[in-house]
Amino acid sequence: MVNEQTQAPLLSIVVPVYGVEAYLYQCLESIRADIPAGESNAVEMIAVDDASPDGCGTMLRSYAAGRDGVRVVHLASNVGLGLARNAGLDVATGRYVWFVDSDDWLPPGTVAAVLDRLRAHQPDVLMLDHLRVHEDGRREVDASSHLLHGVSGVSRLADQPHLLRVQHTAWNKVVRRAFLDELELRFFPGWYEDIPFSHPLLIGAEKISVLDRVCYLYRQGRQGAITSTRSGRHFDAFAQYERLMDWVNRRHPDGPLRAELFQLMISHYLVVVGNDNRLHPHLRRAFFQRVAEHYRRYLPTGGYPMPAGVTGLKHRLVGRGDWLAYSALRQAHRVAGRLRRPGATGGTEGSAGSADENPGRRAATASGAAAGQDDGPAATDHAGALSGGRRQ
């Protein structure tokens, strides 16, 4: 079903949909109802029904009926989050595209603020801030949000290299469509699909703008999030990083950001291997060995900035391929974590309830690590940044 607009919009918002019947209406309405009066031709919304097994397909048909600027694509079979985003991108007509996950939503005033900034700066990439919203209604500021402060006008990553450490997902960036084509970027199948997509956007952009405003509300704790799902599919992260590194080798073979990307990659792997909610115990050693293999394969010739504290120690153990020492350190960390948290019933390293898949968070907590804190639940990961925390 397609409701045509009379002119090409400035912004296409692509919403991949799968298994979110309880949250879908809130997401769609937060977008459509937020479009300012007189701006209806500036925004189109494209919802992609990824063969959702619940009532989402019917809801989308009903929602789009009679609503201008709402387009629905129904896929014949489930293809997963990344390829569903591609399907929406293929029919998008806006100059800019924004990928919004269908269990999240936008706070009031967001669309107007985004449109104003796009018109004022005409960037390749517009970066946005967000809040995490927990099941009990609690809202949490991301540990990397402070990195968005004080970035005025437009800039390049070379001028603001810390932006590479902002939580790297697709949904906190609005991207110029032609720029995506110039970079030959699309989403790949598999979990952790944001890895080879989000980093190249910042690396390749000539004009990055930052909207230091909460423009996205990221739902936490939904059943089915990959960051709380034990599965062998977490090994997909390796193929996604290989795609990223291949892109960097082809496009920026002599770029100065290799060391930074390498550190982020290893830190992310450490998040996954240390998380009880992602890997079955019998898979943990094999995952660690793959991490050590990537460490040897991609280690920059000139080295890289070693993180402080326990995180740095774990990096060194990966570099040595020392599974036994890492396993002992992990167990000691878990015991110490339980002792530090009165009333805790069994903490996990990088638990999904408090964790963010944003390895850049370590930069925000480096002083704590240097003081002897480790990279456990309170000091590291948040659930699902790189992957978007979704499962389709």
Please state, for a pLDDT cut of 70, what percent of the chain lies above it.
84
Q: Tell me how far CA of residue 83 lies from CA of 14, 49, 78, 235, in angstroms.
A: 12, 11, 9, 18
Residue 233, pLDDT > 90, answer: yes
Higher-confidence residue: 348 or 265?
A: 265
> Which whole number is the average pLDDT over 77-100?
98
Q: Let me know: does 67 contact 33? Beta carbons within 8 Å.
A: no
> Which whole number is the average pLDDT over 183-210?
96
User: pLDDT of 375-384, one tens digit each?
Assistant: 333 333 333 4
**pLDDT attached to residue 351:** 38
Which of 84-88, 103-107, 141-145, 359-363 shows the lowest per-residue confidence on average (mean pLDDT)? 359-363
With CA atoms as reference, report the closest residue to 152 among 199, 120, 110, 107.
Answer: 120
> Which whole number is the average pLDDT over 2-25?
86
Rounded CA-CA distance 392/390 in Å is: 7
Residue 372, pLDDT > 80, answer: no
Higher-confidence residue: 90 or 66?
A: 90
Residue 83, pLDDT > 50, answer: yes
Residues 6+ apart with CB under 8 A from 357: 227, 268, 271, 381, 382, 383, 384, 385, 386, 387, 389
User: pLDDT of 101-133, one tens digit each?
Assistant: 999 999 999 999 999 999 999 999 999 999 999
pLDDT band at 338 (very low <50, low <70, confident <90, very high): confident
Sequence-ordered strand ranges (E) for 117-259: 125-133, 139-141, 154-155, 173-176, 208-219
User: pLDDT of 352-368, one tens digit each?
Assistant: 333 345 555 444 433 33
Rounded CA-CA distance 371/63 in Å is: 53
Residue 1, pLDDT > 50, answer: no
**pLDDT attached to residue 342:** 65
Residue 331, pLDDT > 50, answer: yes
User: pLDDT of 286-306, one tens digit each?
Assistant: 999 999 999 999 999 999 999
DSSP state letter for 279: S
Q: How many CB atoms lie within 10 A of CB 370?
A: 12
Which of 133-147, 172-186, 193-207, 212-226 shows the lowest per-residue confidence on average (mean pLDDT)? 212-226
> Which whole number is the average pLDDT over 79-83?
97
DSSP state letter for 2: B
Residue identified by tokens 């907590």 is 365
Please state, for a pLDDT cut of 90, what percent of the chain lies above it.
74
Give the torsion sign (CA, 162, 165, 170, 171). Answer: negative
**pLDDT attached to residue 114:** 98
3-class DSSP assignment, residue 297: helix
**pLDDT attached to residue 256:** 77
**pLDDT attached to residue 359:** 55
Rounded CA-CA distance 109/210 in Å is: 16
Question: To which H or E segment does residue 11 belong?
Answer: strand 11-17
**pLDDT attached to residue 334:** 83
**pLDDT attached to residue 358:** 55
Please state whether the predicted TM-score (pTM) of the whole model is above 0.75.
yes
Q: Let me know: does 148 contact 210? Beta carbons within 8 Å.
A: yes
Name residue 17's beta-bridge partners.
Answer: 49
Residue 226, pLDDT > 80, answer: no
Rounded CA-CA distance 319/358 in Å is: 21
> Which whole number is the average pLDDT over 276-290?
95
